[in-house]
Amino acid sequence: MSVDQSPVYAVKAVPLEKIVANDYNPNIVAPPEMKLLELSIWEDGFTMPCVCYYDNETDRYILVDGYHRYSVLRSSKRIYQRENGLLPVVVIDKELSNRMASTIRHNRARGSLFSTPKKTVVENNLFDYTSGTAILLCGDCNGWYETGACRDIVIRHNTFINALTNMFQFTNAVISIYPEIPDLEHQEKYFHSGIVIEDNEFETFDAPILYAKSVDGLVFRHNTIHQNEAYPPFHWNKHRVMLERVTNATIEDNQFEGGFDPANDIWQK
């Protein structure tokens, strides 16, 4: 264990004006969900403290997790008055890179989902035994209408250890670029674009590393793939790389333990 005592045993009430959002995790939630959160906090109170880092130089608490609870206290007059402008907080003392990793750990459900046209960098993370896909770039503009295209994303210097221990939706590979497109054959434009995956390390017991659909501009380079026997391989996808309607793709200078045969290890349609 990396701490002597869990921070939850030292919850403190911090004035709202001394708390600030971090600058590395922009976060927006749709208004209906925020209304439900406000109602939940009004009815039940704050049942979980926010997680912060205390900056001695500025005398401010920087949020690591709990931005939406913090936002509710800022925006809801009735909750602000009831709480006397105080937010329950626990403090972790970590450097910035570790705080960024902590933010991910607090919010990760299976792997990580990215759906934004903004420039996005995913780096220096450990994806350890995610039950499905470790990183998913999806897209839904025909059913729920809740996720859009990625236009500029870099995935680098990450370590992936034995993902895909389970199979459910969107689990075609360790990294799955998987927009939902009912009629892919007649799609006029590509959904995602500008995706670079480089300098990562993969520890895997199975075959599939990358799946991509409807992408214009995909780079997979300088990655190292180690094969292990942690579990018997069982995935239906027996290809290292599977591409469906992908253009301007570059796959080069990767190291595959056991060799790499493009004729068999890359499937493209």
Quick one: CA torsion of 19, 28, 171, 254, rounded to 10 degrees? Answer: -70
Determine the Cα–Cα distance for residues 52 and 171; give it in Å rounded to an integer: 33
Helix (H) / strand (E) element for 74: namely: helix 67-75
Q: Which two tokens stand for residue 105?
A: 């750990």
pTM: 0.66
3-state secondary structure (DSSP) of residue 169: coil
Distance separating the N- and C-terminal Cα atoms of the chain: 47
**Nearest CA to 196 among 90, 141, 119?**
119
As beta bridge partners, residue 112 has 135
Residue with tokens 């689990």: 171
Q: Are 63 and 19 in contact (CB under 8 A)?
A: yes
User: Which tokens in the block code for residue 73?
Assistant: 């206290």
Q: What is the dihedral of CA 215, 219, 224, 227, to 10 degrees?
A: 20
Q: Which residue is listed with tokens 């997790």?
A: 65
Beta bridge partners of 197: 155, 220
Kindly give the interhelix angle for 31-44 and 67-75, rounded to the nearest 10 degrees. Answer: 80
Residue 88 DSSP code: E
Q: How far is residue 93's CA from residue 74's CA, in Å, rounded to a whole number?
A: 25
Q: What is the pLDDT along the chain (269 residues), one digit of tens a residue?
A: 466 789 989 999 999 999 999 988 777 666 777 888 999 999 999 999 999 999 999 999 999 999 999 999 999 999 999 999 999 999 999 988 888 877 767 765 568 888 888 899 999 888 888 888 999 998 876 666 667 888 999 999 999 999 998 887 788 999 999 988 888 888 888 999 999 999 999 999 999 999 999 999 999 999 999 999 999 999 999 999 999 999 999 999 999 998 899 888 999 98
Q: Which residues contact 132 (CB under 8 A, 6 or more apart)?
A: 110, 111, 163, 164, 166, 167, 168, 170, 171
